[in-house]
Amino acid sequence: MTIRFTKDHEWISLDGGVATVGITDYAQNALGDVVFVEVPDAGKVLTQGAEAAVVESVKAASEIYAPVAGTVLEGNAALADEPALANTDPQGDGWFFKMTIADQAQFDALMDQDAYNDFIQGL
């Protein structure tokens, strides 16, 4: 499994032909307690950089952007019942949606773990 990161603090992991997307630990920390998550429906076609999901916390509402172009396979229904999963396990059970990737080059161009760590150190 390969994982990449965006400057908007989304992570995307690729396992075979399925990519899983969520927010990073840095993002959930900045948001504070997540109280609501709206994930995309299966079949939704996403454009890289376009809004894909919404997360609301006690501090703010934020959009989650598609790190790559592709088609949603499923949204994480568990977040509707337990939005705090985005805080407690952001890179595990708190994932937002799974998708196919339309262009592998978009995925490859995203930051790897070391580059993302350097990026957040500079914030």
For residues 59 and 29, give the distance between their C-alpha atoms in angstroms, rounded to a whole number.
Answer: 11
Query: Tens digit of pLDDT for each residue in 44-97?
Result: 999 999 999 999 999 989 999 999 999 999 999 999 999 999 999 999 999 999
**pLDDT confidence of 1, banded at 50, 70, 90?**
confident
Containing structural domain, residue 28: 2-103
- Sheet arrangement for strand 97-99: 2-5, 10-15, 18-23, 97-99, 70-75, 45-46
Q: Determine what percent of the chain is predicted with pLDDT higher than 90.
A: 98
pLDDT at residue 5 in the model:
98
Is 120 domain-assigned?
A: no
Does residue 83 lie in a domain region? yes
Do residues 96 and 53 lie in contact, with contact meaning Cβ atoms separated by under 8 Å? yes
- Count of structural domains, the chain: 1
Q: Which helix (H) or strand (E) holds 27?
A: helix 25-31
Mean pLDDT rounded to a whole number for the chain = 97
Q: What is the mean pLDDT of residues 20-47?
A: 97
Asked whether residue 114 is assigned to any structural domain, the reply reads: no
